[in-house]
Structure 1
Amino acid sequence: MKKILFFTPFGGRTGSEMLIWNIFKHLNTDKFQVAVYSDKVGSLKNDLPSHIPYYTSPFNCSGISLLTKKLLTKFGYSVYEKNLIKIHEELKPDYWYLNTNLSGHFVELAEKLGVKIISHISEMPYLLYESLAEKDIKPMLKAEMTLCSSEAGRHSLEILEANNIKILYPLVDLQSIRPSESNKKIIKSKLNIPSDAYIWAMSGSLIYRKGIDYLPQIVRLMREKDKKCYFIWMGGKTGSASEYYFRKELAYYQCDNVLLTGALSEEYYDYFDLANAFLLPSHEETFGMVNVEAAYLGKPIITFNSGGVIDIMREGMGKIVESWNVEDLVNSMIDLMEGRIEINKETMRQRALDFDSSKMYLEWEKLMDTLP
């Protein structure tokens, strides 16, 4: 039996973290014993199978306890490191599994403890590397195995000279995609969207990487071309100045047909299924699990070539716009709306099933089996 201690930054509903949670859902407990460590206690903690321990930072506390730990650290007693060592000694793992490029700071301690690492780097350069120092990413590249999420991800890791690169496409829990027809009607009425309106779904945090800068331009071009449609962006607030500017720009240009839902959980697929099509204006996406969700729901996809989406798309699923020109993107959207792009919903659904979590879990297990 292999024992693996997973490290992940937030335990939240990001694609890279949902990926490993979908591994946990299918985990063969006859072959693997695992535990999870995260510096934060995110919403996914509640979805963790009960047999998998969840550990967190010793600083996730308050009052006298937090003050004591800060004082001990100040005077040279590494509370944080001692906590990790204790967790390691409890599980005695064969591997530390470092999820996302934010986990590089764990490598130094792993080397001290003599434990091997597996790196799972789901991020694309450049935007998701900007906040990292060189010293943060380089240690992760020496892992026993370096996993990525697409051919684009593999190529970037090859440039970085990562060790033993393997592609593992994200595991998408298609069985959880069950929109409620009755709830959809309630939501559409609540949003005051006309019954005959053409709706574009969009998804992700309200950040530059996801293409929030493009949306005001898209809305204005649609208006200029006298094409009526609505946009539903499903994604949580960030509180950043960038998001604040985005919201102010939407208001300035009177983009009343843009609906920002905020973070969604149970109703996510109900909102998604209201749409006629899915728009992905991201600057970078290593894969984009949401494209698989869109395909499973039968929503044609219009997207820039932001990276991993090219591994997903097939003829009959929509269009990849290569030019990075917003007007070209809008023209492709209009072509879809007016029936000039041929769509095959069975192709979309079958392609989505290629990434179903039960199938992709077996691919992960095969990769783990190649390690001693």
Structure 2
Amino acid sequence: MNSTKKRILFFTPYATRTGSEMMLLYILKKIDRSRFDIGIVSFADGELLNDFPEDIPRFIAPRKFNILQKISFHLGANPIHRHLRKLATDFKADFWYVNTTMIPETVLIAKEFSIKLVTHFHEMPLTYSYLSGPDFKSIIDYSDLLIGCSQATSNALVDSGGKNIGLLYSFIDSNLVKSNAERSAELRKKLGIPETDFVWVLSGMTSERKGFDLLPDIADQLNDARVHLIWVGAKIDDGMVYYTEQRCRNSRSATRIHLVGKQKEDYYNYLNTGNGFLLTSRQDPFPLVMIEAALLGKPIVSFPSGGVSEFVQDGMGVVTNDLSVSQMVEAMRKIMNGEVVTDSSRSIERAGQFNVENGYNEWIKLIDKNF
């Protein structure tokens, strides 16, 4: 092992509390400063920047241009490129660590300055459509190390022509997953849910990828007055969401749908209102919410959307064979009537493996092996 310190410049898109950015926070809080000098670049002045250790130099790359930057851009000088070139010169890093595929400008400048590059993929193929073909190709071709956050993600990287691929399962700080049973009971009561009814909780942005539009179909097929569906998550203001909300509102199903929006203080208390957890994503690399739900001892029913198939084991719930609402409803019924037996202690033990300590140790192994 090289005794000289390595300099790493980390890149993150928003510095918000998304799963991938929280993972970066956990890594940087634990990183060994006797071995690494580090800096962080964010493309937005997000709230998470306040949580990083104070002595880490932080740089805000321009994403929303001011008037001068807009003029500069129209005259052919990209302010993002200028900012990254200055960083390449001023912060002489051994490599750049880009914690998303969503800032392809970093690859362009890393290439220009012959800087080694790590790209950490928290995305699966449906999300690749946000990138142009040439941008995606340059990420795959130029990165010295591609990291997938699940085997499903890594397999997609192999299929994309990636050469050096590492696997690092996403992880959470399990100490943060705390709920209050009294508060959860209070929230159920507030929603008008009798204690004897069965609640399935879902969590995520109201997007097509997360399968928000399937909610009314699930309710229609269940059609059981003793079953409730609660969706927790930030609302996207688009036509598909409006349409789905109207369908939920006008549903003739006996199963009630509760859209409670984004929750911060009560997030885990809402997760804990559920007797079970439902994952309707069409694609999901390794959703942190499934780890959280398992830590709370909830049985999981999910489509085979990615990392969930690697996470759910016997006694933890059901992953359907196909992306099929009828298969999902059948699995939900089997769990509710006890035909499929689940064991909350099994779920809690499994979820406990994906903790910060284990995650950081795996990350260090990858970095040491490659650099």
Structure 1 residue aligned with 2:200: 200
Give the letter aligned to residue 355 of structure 2: D
Write the distance in 1 (CA, Å) between the matches of 2:318 and 2:210: 18
**Residue 54 to residue 191, structure 1, CA distance change in 2 (3 Å):** farther
Write the distance in 2 (CA, Å) between the matches of 1:91 and 1:291: 38
How far did 1:153 drift?
1.3
Q: Is the 8 A contact 1:153 1:286 kept in 2?
A: yes
Structure 1 residue aligned with 2:277: 278
Write the distance in 1 (CA, Å) between the matches of 2:197 and 2:29: 38
Give the letter aligned to residue 9 of structure 1: P
How far did 1:321 drift?
0.6
**Residue 52 to residue 197, structure 1, CA distance change in 2 (3 Å):** farther
Structure 2 residue aligned with 1:24: 28
TM-score (norm 1): 0.92
Deviation per CA, 1:178-219: give whole Å up to 9, x if none. 112343243233323222221111111000111112110110
Instruction: Give the share of equivalent positions with the same residue, in percent.
Output: 33
TM-score (norm 2): 0.92
Q: Is the 8 A contact 2:80 2:105 kept in 1?
A: no
Q: Is the 8 A contact 1:222 1:228 kept in 2?
A: no
Q: Is the 8 A contact 1:22 1:171 kept in 2?
A: no
Write the distance in 1 (CA, Å) between the matches of 2:43 and 2:315: 43
Write the distance in 2 (CA, Å) between the matches of 1:34 and 1:217: 48
How far did 1:59 drift?
5.4
Q: Is the 8 A contact 2:81 2:105 kept in 1?
A: no
SS of residue in 2 equivalent to 1:156 = helix
Equivalenced residue count is: 365
Aligned with 1:37 (options 17, 35, 41): 41
- Pick which of 96-105 and 355-364 moved more: 96-105
Q: Is the 8 A contact 1:233 1:260 kept in 2?
A: yes
The 5 A counterparts of 1:58-207 are 58=62, 60=64, 66-125=66-125, 127-141=126-140, 142-207=142-207
**Residue 319 to residue 206, structure 1, CA distance change in 2 (3 Å):** same
How far did 1:133 drift?
1.3
Q: Is the 8 A contact 2:44 2:62 kept in 1?
A: no
- Pick which of 71-80 and 193-202 moved more: 71-80
Write the distance in 2 (CA, Å) between the matches of 1:271 and 1:113: 48
How far did 1:227 drift?
5.1
Give the letter aligned to residue 20 of structure 2: S
How far did 1:15 drift?
2.5
Aligned with 1:231 (options 213, 221, 229): 229
Give the letter aligned to residue 160 of structure 1: S
- Pick which of 284-293 and 42-51 moved more: 42-51
**Residue 169 to residue 339, structure 1, CA distance change in 2 (3 Å):** same
The 5 A counterparts of 1:322-337 are 322-337=321-336
- Pick which of 47-56 and 226-235 moved more: 47-56
Give the letter aligned to residue 26 of structure 2: N
How far did 1:166 drift?
0.8
Structure 2 residue aligned with 1:55: 59
**Residue 135 to residue 301, structure 1, CA distance change in 2 (3 Å):** same
**Residue 253 to residue 227, structure 1, CA distance change in 2 (3 Å):** closer
The 5 A counterparts of 1:314-329 are 314-329=313-328
Deviation per CA, 1:220-240: give whole Å up to 9, x if none. 1111xx352111111101112
Structure 2 unpaired stretches of 5+? none
